[in-house]
Amino acid sequence: MLTDGALRMLVLLNFHLLGFSPIQLAYLFLIYEFMGILTNFFGGWLVNRFGLIPVLYSGLTIQVLSLLGLVLVPNDIGIVMSVVFVMAAQGFSGIAKDLTKVSSKSAVKILAPDSSDKILFKWVATLTGSKNAMKGFGFLLGGIFLALFGYKVSLAILIAILVTIFVAIFFSNPSVSAGSVKSVKLINVISSNHKINFLSLARLFLFGARDTWFVVGIPIYFLEAFEASEIFGDRSAFFLVGGYMAIWIIFYGLVQAYAHRIFVGFNDYKLKSGAMFWIFPLPLVPLFLAFATYIIEQHSIILTILLIVGLLIFGSIFAVNSSLHSFLILKFTTLERASLDVGFYYMANAAGRLLGTLLSGLSFQFGGLSSCLIVSAIFLLVATFFTWLIPITRK
């Protein structure tokens, strides 16, 4: 997660400096998100076939190789080939990230199959929150490294960090039984559980709503705003943009880690009611911010501060929803299908991110940040609808 966040920020800021348009920047991440969909589809099946630990090691190894490929790309191959290499490396990075995530999230259900909902929710929230906090720290490192060391040296530092982590995990000799079902068929990845299907659809539009402004819109808007202020240079702007994206993700992760306390003692019906309660106000935040972008001067200090604070409020509410979803997928699944259903659920998550990434570039290119925020609000309304459809009867 650390190197994944840092790589995203390095690629985004570096290619913005090279003159890429918002749509072109979005294209750089499309392969990453598309490979995430495929990896999550096959990831649960792979865990069932080969176990958690081999899949975890595979994810770490692929991430090292993807970073190494970017370092070894010659500087004189031309912008087109550079983009091809970056998109390919991003694709492998997407595979690495989701192999690691599926194995880690499935392990929670496997390690604590008989625990109470309270304990399971606490474990899920802690893992999810710490994962995102680490990714946020990666955003910060990406901005700092690019400002201090440049693009390729930064990638080399990330490789060194990742190899160190890999060696530490290897020598700790983790042992987790995934309850493998060697005869499981690939078609079994698709869930027949309506609770899981509607939860997955809600997740798709929830994360699509976030990424419509998060991937391209907000980072580029803030970069332009800081540069337009004539107070900050390019390098300072890198620190500020990377720093804010890091703060947002870390704050989001911290709220996720403690969100389980809100739902202590809730039965299934109350959990669904809680999900509706927390997602209902979420579309109002991007709608308000979109309205603000129409009536306040672009790149002004007032609008920038309003966006900074407003998106942190969005992040806190979003984190509660995300944490509850991460618990519900493990609650709705069974021990035997844990890795399959988690993979299917995160495939929907990746599909939402892919759609959000594409729309982030398109919306910002043709309508600016306000368009990104309006699309986000529409997606959140759809996510609310699918949350309402989750079939839970009152007890």
| Phi/psi at 116 (5° precision) | -70, 165
> With contact defined as beta carbons under 8 Å apart, do 286 and 213 qualify?
yes
- pLDDT for the residue numbered 376: 97
Q: What is the chain's alpha carbon radius of gyration, rounded to the nearest angstrom?
A: 20
What pLDDT does residue 381 have? 97
AA letter at 395: K
pLDDT at 337: 74
pLDDT, residue 32, reads: 82
Tens-level pLDDT at each residue, the chain (395 residues) = 788 888 888 888 888 777 888 878 887 788 888 887 888 777 666 766 776 777 778 888 888 888 888 888 776 676 777 778 888 888 888 888 777 776 666 666 555 555 556 676 777 777 777 777 788 888 888 888 888 888 889 899 989 988 888 888 777 766 555 444 455 555 555 667 888 999 999 999 999 999 999 988 998 898 888 877 665 555 677 778 888 888 898 898 888 888 878 887 777 778 888 889 999 999 999 999 999 999 998 888 899 999 999 999 999 999 999 989 888 887 887 766 776 787 788 888 889 999 999 999 899 988 999 999 999 999 999 999 999 999 876 65
105: CB partners within 8 A, 6+ apart: 124, 127, 128, 326, 330, 342, 346
Q: State residue 330's pLDDT score.
A: 78
Domains contained in the chain, CATH given = 2-177+186-389 (1.20.1250.20)
Side-chain-side CA neighbours of residue 45 (13 Å): 16
